Structure 1
């Protein structure tokens, strides 16, 4: 009997910059790469999954924050209409089909109240930190994640005007 086909990751993902109104940003440290701090990221689970659905699932899985709850309404999630195409790091390329070398990452912001509790998925992340936005950008290992965080004040201005 043949082994079941291996399910490869879809090379389309989301990056969700979770922040407070005071521009403190939530970063999480990867369990499989100590010292690698990032915002919530994750690939689509299935071809028909919308980017909003991917955001909602990944944020809940990685932080325990439920988008669509009374504390964090769906309207708190903003599609920044930015996409980054980048080469997949060699250490994670085995998760994708052999011919796949690049991923497209869609950037979102999620505004949450200060003091929002975080419950990490221990197999994915070991610790979290709320940091002022510039400090958070400096701590990110991913250039596209750092660039997204540096855009946060601009996106907040457009929401308030």
Structure 2
């Protein structure tokens, strides 16, 4: 097992076609709500694999590639790692690169939280979900949902 977390992660925004967004509350930090997040397990782990693994580990949702399909936004954020969590990274590491994904699911999909990581979940309209997130990059990703999901007129 590696000693330190890799400072490269995924953010997976889970939403319905009506733009309700699933947010989950961190077990170790009550009041800290977020989307699914998680670091690469190994340097050569493909981002899509990381996103699918974290989605399943944190919510029980399986991205099967047919009915439940992860969408890679081809968007990365670099942010300062919160001091609270810097001890998880090698000495001197202060920034993380986060790659954004989303997944559209039915509103009634069963959510099975990892009790080690999260204690509650809520479906909220996307604006409320963004307001609830403690992470600025997570909130911004949620606010971008309508633009990300809009049909691209250039592709017609």
TM over 0.5: yes
Distance, in Å, in 2 between the alignment partners of 1:121 and 1:138 is 23
Matches within 5 A, 1:1-161: 7-68=3-64, 71-72=67-68, 76-158=69-151
SS in 2 for 1:58: helix
Q: Runs of 5+ in structure 2 lacking a partner?
A: none
Can you give the 5+ residue segments of structure 1 that lack an aligned partner in the other structure?
none
Aligned to 1:158, the other structure's residue is in SS state coil
Query: Does the residue aligned with 2:151 lie in a helix, a strand or coil?
Result: helix
Moved over 6 A (4+): none
More displaced stretch, 5-14 vs 30-39: 5-14
Looking at structure 1, the residues matched to 2 and 38 of structure 2 have their Cα atoms a distance apart, in angstroms, of 18
Cα RMSD for the two superposed structures: 1.6
Aligned counterparts of 1:34 and 1:97: Cα–Cα separation in 2:
26
For the residues of structure 1 that align with 2:20 and 2:90, how far apart are their CA atoms? 37
Q: Aligned-pair distance for 1:23?
A: 0.5
Question: Structure 1-normalised TM-score?
Answer: 0.91
Q: TM-score, normalised by structure 2?
A: 0.94
Number of residue pairs matched by the alignment: 154
Paired with 1:16 and 1:6, the residues of 2 have a C-alpha distance of 24
Distance 1:29 1:158 in 2: 32
**Residue 71 of structure 1: CA displacement?**
4.5
